[in-house]
């Protein structure tokens, strides 16, 4: 992936996830904005693989997001005591940082995220192709 594509996917994830969280919870935290950016960038890299089916993409995305959510949650909530979220009252949670219901939600959220990543990957590939192939009128 080119640097411009990495930056664009990061910003899309940063703002998209922030918007989703504000709509669903009413607020967000700056670390979640950064996490959303990192997650979408990684999802776009995963979805750029030709053999990635929808189910594989959603499964890989759900596992990836859950792992990142645990890492950020451990830092934010357990080490720093910022109390950004607490899943302690959710079923099948681990240390209150991740839980199976949200992992399932991440699986479903990976469906539109895959479409967005594929559209961005296609757009950037098209831009690279246009730069690489001269237009007939530009040839001497």
pLDDT digits (tens, 9 = 90+) for 30-54: 999 999 999 999 999 999 888 899 9
d(Cα 96, Cα 86) in Å, to the nearest integer? 5
What's the pTM?
A: 0.85
Question: Once rounded to an integer, what is the mean pLDDT over residues 75-102?
Answer: 97
Q: 48: Cβ–Cβ under 8 A, 6 or more apart, which residues? A: 1, 117, 121
What's residue 127's pLDDT? 62
Find the radius of gyration of the CA atoms of the chain: 18
What's residue 136's pLDDT? 53
Is the pLDDT at 129 greater than 80? The verdict is no
Question: Once rounded to an integer, what is the mean pLDDT over residues 72-86?
Answer: 97
Q: 112: Cβ–Cβ under 8 A, 6 or more apart, which residues? A: none
Structure tokens at 27: 């607020």
| Residue (of 79, 42, 48, 85) closest to 62 by Cα position | 42
Is the pLDDT at 87 greater than 50? The verdict is yes
Distances, alpha carbon 62 to alpha carbons 49, 77, 86, 125, 139, in Å: 17, 21, 19, 26, 48
d(Cα 104, Cα 70) in Å, to the nearest integer? 15
Structure tokens at 59: 């499964």
What's residue 132's pLDDT? 46
Question: Once rounded to an integer, what is the mean pLDDT over residues 59-65?
Answer: 97
Helix intervals (H) in 26-139: 30-47, 54-73, 100-132
Q: What's the chain's average pLDDT?
A: 90
Structure tokens at 73: 């949650």
């Amino acid at each position: 992936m080119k640097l411009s594509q990495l930056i664009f996917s990061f910003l899309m994830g940063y703002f998209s996830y922030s918007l989703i969280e504000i709509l669903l919870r009413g607020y967000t935290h700056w670390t979640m904005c950064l996490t959303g950016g990192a997650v979408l960038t990684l999802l776009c890299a995963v979805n750029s693989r030709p053999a990635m089916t929808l189910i594989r993409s959603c499964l890989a995305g759900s596992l990836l997001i859950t792992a990142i959510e645990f890492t950020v949650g451990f830092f934010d909530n357990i080490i720093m005591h910022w109390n950004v979220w607490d899943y302690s009252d959710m079923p099948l949670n681990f240390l209150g940082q991740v839980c199976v219901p949200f992992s399932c939600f991440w699986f479903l959220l990976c469906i539109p995220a895959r479409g967005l990543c594929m559209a961005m990957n296609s757009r950037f590939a098209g831009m690279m192709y246009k730069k690489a192939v001269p237009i007939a009128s530009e040839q001497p």
